[in-house]
Structure 1
Amino acid sequence: MMQMEEKKETKVVLTRPLTIQRDSDSDASYKAPNLLQRILSLFENVRPGSDLTRFQLPPLFNLPKSQLQCYGESVYCTASDLLSMCNNGQSPLDRFISVVAWCISTTRPLTFGVAPYNPILGETHHVSKGNLNVLLEQISHHPPVTALHATDEKENIEMLWCQRPDPKFNGTSVEAKVHGIRQLKLLNHGETYEMNCPHLLLRILPVPGADWAGTVNIRCPETGLVAELSYRSSFFLGIRGNHRVIKGKILDSSSLKVLYEVDGHWDRTVKVKDTNNGKVRVIYDAKEVMSGLVTPIFKDTESVWQTESAHVWGELNQAIMSKDWEKAREAKLKVEERQRELVRERESKGETWISKHFVVSNNKEGWQCSPIHKSVPAAPIIAL
């Protein structure tokens, strides 16, 4: 009876997904001196080169969502069915170009001055979008490691990620390298596409801002096709009209022949140019892919796991959206204290935490995970 009452009182709060921001409403509104001063004050006692994985932001600087949800949204929050396009390509090259477009679609804008919560150990995020079922679990807290498994049995598609952000403070900026490989499997074609993630740069001085940078490599061992995508940051120049640039090439690894040149902006349009005939076409339109995104809904609230992000952070989500900062501070502290209590309990019993959904290993090759179940079941949370 007590458990039923506690479950009824617990808030389970879903929030709107991140979307593409235009120049008119992007970072500019977050560059006020008072916000910059508050951010600078956070890093007063942090030395350059410091590991920030244990650094806790106060709720005033938090988005009302977990990083686990942000990873998940990059997969299921799209207005276009890019995964079906990948699967329906007539040739290996057609499918590879569609995978490049899909990979670009997982890049989402962040706003300077706010960040998602650090997921707690064992936190999950389970959502369905059409026939695509997505499950994420935080399989390590220190260091933070996230595993993702997604399946679409109708399209016969599987996705597997295991990644670890590694943020470092560099004095006037924060650079977060994301380690780990993302896999997309088109099982009907016997093709596996492996790719990494760009690095996140948060510049504090001289001009505050957030951007993605670095090289993303996409490869398909079965076809020998490779893509090299360079995310160009305006970190040093700060040129307003030339940010979020992406350039690259698609080539045949056996002959090293460049088949297509890639050029554009990942928050606008990306084009490819055929090196044989010079024809140019758009392969990705961010406005089309990310328009009209709305908050997911509950299909069945009774089936939501206690470990679900929207459940773990429900009270904090609500407090932040209501701008009740005192209640937000209390809600965040409540979650953190509960986690410390669970750690003490495990240590006193000599127990080791074990993932419920993945087989996890950590060796010289890095963190690796494999799903316990072959497919992801339908979720009680539905993305529209």
Structure 2
Amino acid sequence: MAPTDPKQVVGSSSGGFFASIASTLSTFSTAMHKSVNGSIGYEGLEVINPEGGTDDAVDEAQKGRWKQEDRDGYWKMMQAYIGSDITSMVTLPVVIFEPMTMLQKMAELMEYSHLLDEADKCEDPYMRLVYASSFFISVYYAYQRTWKPFNPILGETYEMVNYGGITFIAEQVSHHPPMSAAHAENDHFTYDISSKLKTKFLGNSVDVYPVGRTRVTLKGYGNVLELVPPPTKVNNLIFGRTWVDSPGEMVLSNLTTGDKVVLYFQPCGWFGAGRYEVDGYVYNAADEPKVLMTGKWNQSMSYQPCDLEGEPLPGTQMKEVWRVADVPKNDKHDYTYFAHKINSFDTAPKKLLASDSRLRPDRFALEKGDMSKSGSEKSSLEERQRAEKRTREAKGEQFTPRWFDFTGEVSTTPWGDLEVYNFNGKYNEYSRSVKNEGSIQEVDIQSMEFNPWQYGKMAKE
């Protein structure tokens, strides 16, 4: 018999006494939130402290990256959007941004790509899923950063080479709705994703639903893996210290064998209880547990073979499969060393596409700490994007991605339908042609002008 769902274990062990305690704490929490809201003059605004502290609730609510006058103005502006999807309908101030785009964020998943290499080398089909699911868990350490990446301009790209033998290319393939596609490949795996975020703005928080399709093919065994991640909630957007939680299930299915991994991300409870914790099992095609997995998504993951009841097998030990690498101390945007590589030209090809995210003037200005210039450059890029759309509509033409093709397939996800884009292979042809040019003079990529435009450079207005 398969073990009980971790969610049911948590709930069923409570009993009447613990349910009463939980209800009391919930009531107290609600009263404290109302007290905080009344003190700062924003009735109905929820400020959640993940540590559960209450002595300095008002002080906690006032903290954050906003100046008081900025918070006031932003709150008044955003009230009209409560309950709405704000993925692309709102122009956001650069004070909440990090100097990275969403395409670069997609590439950041590759930091622990060696786990997919190990998965491809495994003879044991269940250990393949242990390594592969740990790879997908590893990205959540970076996702806990509370700064927002820049939305890509239509036609924008990001290239990464010189890392683990991987070739990575991402492209913004649609503006309305905002959609990105990416492809990565080395000797052991291919990684393909079509991504479309859906959001729900709740006032001082936002729910983020990952409407996307992620597939990994392990080349050694031809196994095709598909991921369904949990949703994410960003708390205290305007008031309080911003923090991220991703409660729910992550399911990684082996479409070739029928095996799967189901991992449950515990929600953050009172005084931070359960925060970061991940538990679950690798199941065979008959839904029988074969390996238990446990850990914290911001620290490490471990595994141990188990019996049909989900209990550890006698004579076996828990073994660590992944641990987060050392990170810089007191980094302004909480970047890892790899995140800094993502932004550098060290991981760029010698002949970089002019549409690459690194070349964006708003991103570069923010990296240098000039928020005023970053804001004006961001507004300029957005206006040029709108101007290009007007030109395209006047010509009766449609935007066509360069490196990805729309398949015509619409995939169903737990959070909405997704238009699926496939890597068309043209980037590989392009890369080979560049290499064959031999002694051609290299372009000074640090002096290149950002140019994702379909109709020339779309001169600034």
Task: Say yes or no: TM over 0.5.
Answer: yes
Q: Distance in 2 between matches of 1:105 and 1:30?
A: 31
Report if the CA contact (8 A) 1:46-1:169 is conserved: no
Following superposition, the deviation at residue 221 of structure 1 comes to 2.3
Following superposition, the deviation at residue 42 of structure 1 comes to 2.5
Tell me the equivalent position of 2:93.
58
- Map Cα deviations across residues 73-105 of structure 1 (whole Å, 9 max, x no partner): 112x34x72222111112222222111111212
Identical counterparts, % of pairs: 22
- Map Cα deviations across residues 117-174 of structure 1 (whole Å, 9 max, x no partner): 111111111111232101111111121111111111x33x211111111011123420
Q: Higher strand share goes to which structure?
A: 1
Q: Distance in 2 between matches of 1:372 and 1:209?
A: 38
Tell me the equivalent position of 2:404.
358
- Correspondence 1:334 to 2:380: yes
- Evaluate the alpha carbon distance shift between residue 342 and residue 86 of structure 1 in structure 2; reply closer, same or farther with a 3 A threshold: same
- Correspondence 1:214 to 2:248: yes
- Evaluate the alpha carbon distance shift between residue 247 and residue 299 of structure 1 in structure 2; reply closer, same or farther with a 3 A threshold: closer
Following superposition, the deviation at residue 212 of structure 1 comes to 2.2
- Evaluate the alpha carbon distance shift between residue 40 and residue 111 of structure 1 in structure 2; reply closer, same or farther with a 3 A threshold: farther
Tell me the equivalent position of 1:96.
129
AA paired with 1:117? F
Tell me the equivalent position of 2:235.
203
Which runs of no fewer than 5 residues in structure 2 stay unpaired?
1-50, 52-58, 308-312, 328-334, 412-417, 435-441, 446-461
- Correspondence 1:285 to 2:331: no
| 2:175 paired residue among 123, 138, 141 | 141
Report if the CA contact (8 A) 2:86-2:200 is conserved: yes
Tell me the equivalent position of 1:307.
355
Tell me the equivalent position of 1:8.
none
- Evaluate the alpha carbon distance shift between residue 261 and residue 126 of structure 1 in structure 2; reply closer, same or farther with a 3 A threshold: same
Following superposition, the deviation at residue 36 of structure 1 comes to 7.6
Following superposition, the deviation at residue 110 of structure 1 comes to 3.0
Which runs of no fewer than 5 residues in structure 1 stay unpaired?
1-22
Structure number with bigger Rg: 2
Report if the CA contact (8 A) 2:181-2:194 is conserved: yes
Tell me the equivalent position of 2:151.
118
Q: Distance in 2 between matches of 1:62 and 1:310?
A: 15
Q: Distance in 2 between matches of 1:281 and 1:316?
A: 45
Report if the CA contact (8 A) 2:259-2:284 is conserved: yes
Tell me the equivalent position of 1:245.
277
Tell me the equivalent position of 1:74.
109
- Evaluate the alpha carbon distance shift between residue 300 and residue 243 of structure 1 in structure 2; reply closer, same or farther with a 3 A threshold: closer
Q: Distance in 2 between matches of 1:36 and 1:177?
A: 29
Q: Distance in 1 between matches of 2:348 and 2:421?
A: 29
Following superposition, the deviation at residue 282 of structure 1 comes to 1.4
- The count of corresponding residues between Structure 1 and Structure 2 is 345
- Map Cα deviations across residues 332-384 of structure 1 (whole Å, 9 max, x no partner): 11111111111111011011001111111466532111111177448999xxx
Q: Distance in 2 between matches of 1:220 and 1:96?
A: 8
Larger CA deviation: 290-299 vs 211-220: 290-299
Report if the CA contact (8 A) 2:152-2:172 is conserved: yes
Following superposition, the deviation at residue 321 of structure 1 comes to 2.6
- Evaluate the alpha carbon distance shift between residue 319 and residue 207 of structure 1 in structure 2; reply closer, same or farther with a 3 A threshold: closer
RMSD over aligned Cα atoms: 3.0
Report if the CA contact (8 A) 1:31-1:208 is conserved: no
- Correspondence 1:162 to 2:208: no
Following superposition, the deviation at residue 200 of structure 1 comes to 1.9
- Evaluate the alpha carbon distance shift between residue 364 and residue 273 of structure 1 in structure 2; reply closer, same or farther with a 3 A threshold: same
AA paired with 1:280? M
- Evaluate the alpha carbon distance shift between residue 29 and residue 266 of structure 1 in structure 2; reply closer, same or farther with a 3 A threshold: farther
Following superposition, the deviation at residue 231 of structure 1 comes to 1.7
- Evaluate the alpha carbon distance shift between residue 330 and residue 282 of structure 1 in structure 2; reply closer, same or farther with a 3 A threshold: same
- Evaluate the alpha carbon distance shift between residue 207 and residue 64 of structure 1 in structure 2; reply closer, same or farther with a 3 A threshold: closer
Q: Distance in 1 between matches of 2:273 and 2:265?
A: 15
| 2:165 paired residue among 126, 131, 143 | 131
| 1:370 paired residue among 422, 427, 446 | 422
- Correspondence 1:32 to 2:84: no
Identify the structure with bigger relative contact order (alpha carbons < 8 Å, sequence gap 6+): 1
